[in-house]
Amino acid sequence: MRRRIMHLWFCLLVGSVLLATPGSVSAQVGVSVQTGALADGATYLIEVPPNWNGTLFLYSHGYVTPGGANPAQDVGDSATRLFMLASGFALAGSSYATTGWAVQQALPDQIAVLDLFRKLVGHPKQTIAWGHSLGGMITAGLIQRYPERFDAAMPMCGVLSGGVATWNTALDGAFAFKTLLAPGSGLQVVNIANPLANLDLAEELILAAQATPQGRARLALSAALSDVPGWFAPLSPEPAPTDFASQQMNQFLWDQQVDFPFVFAFRAELEARAQGNPSWNTDVDYRRQLERSADAAEVRALYQQAGLDLDADLRILNETVRISADPQATAYLKQNIIYNGEIHIPVLTLHTTGDGLVVPENESAYRRTVDEEDNGQLLRRTFVSRAGHCAFTPAETIAAVQTLLGRLETGKWPHIAATNLNTAATALGPNFNIFATTQGLVPVPPAFVDFHPAPYLRPFDAESEECKFGFLCGDPFSPFHPH
If one counts every other C-beta atom within 10 angstroms of the C-beta of residue 32, the result is 14
Taking 60 as the threshold, does the pLDDT of residue 284 lie above it? yes
Query: How high does pLDDT run on average in the chain?
Result: 92
- pLDDT score at 33: 97
Taking 70 as the threshold, does the pLDDT of residue 304 lie above it? yes
H-assigned helices in 336-455: 362-372, 394-410, 418-427
Number of H helices, E strands in the chain: 18, 11
| Structural element, H or E, at residue 181 | helix 163-181
Over residues 348-353, the mean pLDDT reads 98
Taking 60 as the threshold, does the pLDDT of residue 473 lie above it? no
Q: Are 216 and 230 in contact (CB under 8 A)?
A: no
- How confident is residue 227, by pLDDT bands cut at 50, 70 and 90? very high
- pLDDT score at 24: 42
Q: What is the CATH number assigned to the segment(s) 2-162+338-449? A: 3.40.50.1820
- How confident is residue 462, by pLDDT bands cut at 50, 70 and 90? confident
Taking 80 as the threshold, does the pLDDT of residue 240 lie above it? yes
- pLDDT score at 121: 98
Over residues 232-253, the mean pLDDT reads 98
User: Which residues have CB under 8 Å from 63's CB, separation 6+?
Assistant: 12, 100, 101, 133, 134
Taking 80 as the threshold, does the pLDDT of residue 28 lie above it? no
Provide the percentage of residues in the chain whose pLDDT is more than 90: 89
Taking 60 as the threshold, does the pLDDT of residue 204 lie above it? yes
How far is the CA of 289 from the CAs of 41, 292, 299, 323, in angstroms?
43, 5, 12, 17
- How confident is residue 482, by pLDDT bands cut at 50, 70 and 90? very low
Taking 60 as the threshold, does the pLDDT of residue 463 lie above it? yes
- pLDDT score at 29: 82
- pLDDT score at 8: 54
Over residues 461-465, the mean pLDDT reads 71
Residue ranges per domain, the chain?
2-162+338-449, 163-333
Over residues 233-259, the mean pLDDT reads 98
How far is the CA of 327 from the CAs of 274, 378, 469, in angstroms?
10, 34, 14
- Cβ burial of 148 (10 Å; 0-12, 13-18, 19+) is exposed
- pLDDT score at 409: 97
- CA 89 centroid distance within chain: 25
User: Which residues have CB under 8 Å from 13's CB, separation 6+?
Assistant: none
